[in-house]
Structure 1
Amino acid sequence: MEFNANSATFIYVHGAGNKPPESDLKRAWDEDLFGRDMGERTRMVYYADLLHDRPAAIAADACGATGALAALVSDAFADTALLEDAEAREAFGEMDSDGQEFALSLAISMAARAASPTGLAPTPGVRPAAGVAELLPLPGPLRRFLLRQLLRHLIPDANGYFFTSAQDRIRDRLRTTLDAVAGPVVVISHSLGTVVAYDVLSEAGFAQKDVPLFITLGSPLGYTEIQDVITRPLRIPAPVRLWTNFADPLDLVTLDTTLADDFRGAAKVIADIRVDNPSPNNHASCGYLRSRHVRDAVTAAQ
Structure 2
Amino acid sequence: MAKSRAAVVFIHGLAKKPEKDELLKIWHWALLRDNPMPNVFGESNKGMNLDTEDAPTIMSYYADVFYGLDYEKDLQSYFEQNPVKQAGLELNSQGLTEVESGREPPIPVTPREAYFLEMLESKLAANLALEDDKVPDEAALPTGYEVAGFVPRRIREAIIKKAAMEAYYFLFNKEYVRPDGARFMVREALRQRLLDDVNHALAIADKVVIVSHSMGTMVAYDLLRNVKTCPRVSTLITLGSPLGVREVQAELAPERGGPDFPERVDHWVNIYDPLDPICGPDPRFANDYRPFKDRSVKDIRESNWGSWRHTITHYLAGVKFRAELTAALDRAPGVQ
**Pairwise TM-score range, normalised by the shorter structure:** 0.7 to 0.9
Hey, what's the Cα distance between the residues in 2 that align with 1:258 and 1:72? Answer: 25
Distance 1:176 1:219 in 2: 22
Which has the higher mean CA deviation after the structures are superposed, 105-114 or 189-198? 105-114
Instruction: Choose from 157, 179, 182 the match for 2:199.
Output: 179
Alignment of 1:51 onto 2:71: no
Deviations 1:183-203 (A, max 9, x none): 210000001100000000112
The answer as to 2:31 corresponding to 1:12 is no
How far 1:96 sits from its partner (Å)? 4.0
- Report percent identity of matched pairs: 28
Change over 3 Å in CA distance of 1:161–1:68 after alignment to 2: farther
Q: 1:107 to 1:243 in 2, by over 3 A?
A: same
The verdict on how the C-alpha distance between 1:55 and 1:144 changes in structure 2, with shifts beyond 3 A counting, is closer
| Structure 2: segments with no counterpart, 5+ residues | 34-48, 130-142, 175-184, 332-336
Gap change, CA 1:55 and 1:146, over 3 Å in 2: closer
2:29 — aligned with what? 31
- Does structure 1 residue 225 correspond to structure 2 residue 247? yes
- Flag structure 1 segments of 5+ consecutive residues without an equivalent: 1-5, 80-84, 116-132
Partner of 1:258: 284
Over residues 177-219 of structure 1, what are the superposed CA-to-partner deviations in whole Å (9 max), with x where a residue is unaligned?
Answer: 112223210000001100000000112223xx34221100000
Q: How far apart, in 1, do the equivalents of 2:51 and 2:156 lie? A: 33
Q: Measure the CA separation in 2 of the matches of 1:263 and 1:252.
A: 21
Distance 1:257 1:110, change over 3 A: same
Alignment of 1:282 with 2:309, yes or no, is yes
In 1, the alpha carbon distance for the partners of 2:295 and 2:100 equals 47
Q: Higher helix fraction: Structure 1 or Structure 2?
A: 1
Show the 5 A alignment for 1:52-131: 52-63=67-78, 64=80, 65=83, 69-70=88-89, 72-73=91-92, 91-92=104-105, 96-97=109-110, 99-113=113-127
Q: Which residue of 2 aligns with 1:124?
A: none
Aligned length: 271
Quick one: distance in 2 between partners of 1:153 and 1:93? 10
Bigger mean CA offset, 144-153 vs 262-271: 144-153
Contact 2:14 2:166 in 1 (8 A): yes
Q: Classify 1:110/1:294 alpha carbon distance in 2 versus 1 (closer, same or farther; 3 Å).
A: same
In structure 2, the CA distance between the partners of 1:292 and 1:74, relative to structure 1 (3 Å rule), is closer
CA contact (8 A) 1:250 1:282 kept: yes
Query: What is aligned with 1:272?
Result: 299
CA distance in 2, matches of 1:171, 1:17: 18
Q: Residues 131-181 of structure 1, C-alpha deviation per residue, up to 9 Å, x if partnerless?
A: xx9898956x74866643431331221122123112101110011111222
Write the letter of the residue equivalent to 1:247. Answer: Y
Higher Cα Rg, which structure: 2
Equivalent AA in structure 2 for residue 261 of structure 1 = N
Q: Deviations over 1:207-232 (max 9, x none)?
A: xx342211000000000111121134
Give 1:237 shift.
1.1
- Counterparts of residues 116-195 of structure 1 (less than 5 Å): 142=151, 147-163=156-172, 164=174, 165-180=185-200, 181-182=202-203, 183-195=206-218
What RMSD, in angstroms, separates the aligned Cα atoms of the two structures?
3.3
Distance 1:114 1:162 in 2: 23
Give the match for residue 128 of structure 1: none
